[in-house]
Each structure stands twice: as C-alpha cells, then as structure tokens.
Amino acid sequence: MIRTLLFLFLACTLSLMAAGEPRTVTAALENVKDDSATVPVGNIPVGVSGIVIHAYDQTHKAILASVIVTAGDKNSATLKLLPYRGLRQPNLPTIKTKPQNGDMVILGYLYDRALPIVPNQKSLEKAKESFPKLHLIHPDLFAAELAKDKSPLPSKKHFKRICEKMHLGIVMFMFKDGTDFIDCVSWVKVGDAHVTSVDANHFKQPFFNRFEEIPSPFYDWTEYKIGDFDRFYRKMESEK
C-alpha cells in the first residue's frame, strides 16, 4: 500500500513538473546516431532545448552541440542534435569533436534566465514575486534592441536574437489567464503557470518598458499599435 501511494505521488509530481514551470535536468547521452540521440529521462516536454558537453579530461570540457526534444515518454526522450550557436566567434576554430554516448546533456539549459513580456509594471512586479528562482532581465533591454532596429513591434526574429545575445533560455508571456514559457531555441511552449497579468486591458505598447516610444523607420507613417495584448502575443507564440 505504501509503495503504491509513493509511486502515485512520484508520478503526479513528474506530471506536474512537466506541465508546469520549465525545469532543468542533466543526463548522459545514449544511442547517438547521425543527428539524433536519446537520454534516459522521462516526462520531458517536446520542444525543450539543451546542450551537449564533452569532457576531454577532469579539467577540460566543451559544448559540442545544441539539442531539442522531439519525442518522449515516461522513461526517455529523443533528441535532435544541432550546431551550438551560443558562443559564435568567427575568429576562433570550431570544435571538431562529435557528440557521443556518455556525453553530458543539460536539458532546460539557461531556463533560469527569462525575458518577461508583460502588459504593465504591476504585472512585471507580480512576475518577480511569483517566480523568485527566475532571473528576469528587464524588458527595457529588449525595447532598446527594437529601438536600434527601428521596429516598434517585435517579431519572432527579434526574440530569437535577444535570447542569443542575452543568453536566455525562455521567453515568458503573461496573459489574463496565465503565463506561458516559450523555449528560445525551438520556439515551442515548454511550460505554463497559473499566474495571471494585472489589469491587462491597460498596457504599454508593445509590452511594458520605460521608453517613451520605440521609433519607427524614417518616413514610415504606419501606426504600429497592438489592439489586444493577449491576442497579439498568442499569435506570436504559434509562429513556426
């Protein structure tokens, strides 16, 4: 009876972790073949990204590749192997070592660093209180990138770029009915939480930031306005 209850408790816990806030797990790479591999960890949502680390000896290690979870069950996850682009430096030689069985995989890499896209300051304050373990970079940093591009409205391309530049793992969208976590590499929803925005009908364009406005291109008289915060960013989440 006790064993049965313990099993049910662990199963429910894993299920909640998979469906709730994103988590980081470490495992050994298995069944490496061409651009795919597996890890013996279950209940990892499809779309979770990570990295492969190879140890040359006790003191020398290197990141060999990025990975994205493409399938899984309660016992394991299937990964797609991709080139790692987090530290691109054209003046340095690339690492020739290929991922192999036994290499360490960190799934949910940088999931403790997130970009919060929220409608207003009260919502940002609520996000900080609700997710104390997350390092939330200030949305002003993203607004500054948009201002440099003269792009009053963000695109998926802008999100991917800020994620890479600021070493972020997830983008956090806070809506009236909850919060979604989008993986920066796969651009797939990998978690959610029942943390709702505050007074979402009153929001700063195009998301909360402290800029007076984000400039548009010279001689462009288009009115760049978001009519419905939730609808705009829900559509952004679904972009492929």
What is the structure's pLDDT at 93? 67
Q: May I ask the CATH class of domain 113-237?
A: alpha beta
Asked whether the beta carbons of 28 and 39 are under 8 A apart, the reply is yes
Question: What is the CATH number assigned to the segment(s) 22-107?
Answer: 2.40.10
Asked whether the beta carbons of 113 and 167 are under 8 A apart, the reply is yes
What is the structure's pLDDT at 14? 36
Contacts of 65 (CB under 8 A, 6+ apart): 51, 52, 81, 82, 83, 84, 99
Distance CA 197, CA 176 (A): 5
Q: What percent of the chain has pLDDT over 70?
A: 89
Q: Using the structure block, give the residue that is written with the tokens 């064993």.
A: 3
Task: Write down the domain spans for the chain.
Answer: 22-107, 113-237
Q: What are phi and psi of 143, to 5 degrees?
A: -60, -35
Residue 94 has what DSSP assignment? P
49-55: strand order across its sheet: 25-28, 104-107, 49-55, 61-72, 77-82, 36-39, 30-33
Whether 16 has a pLDDT exceeding 90, the answer reads: no
Asked whether the beta carbons of 137 and 209 are under 8 A apart, the reply is no
Tokens of 196: 């709702």
Separation of CA 194 from chain center:
18
What is the structure's pLDDT at 1? 39
Distance CA 181, CA 179 (A): 7
pLDDT tens-digit readout, 37-89 = 999 999 999 999 999 999 999 999 999 999 999 999 999 999 999 999 876 66
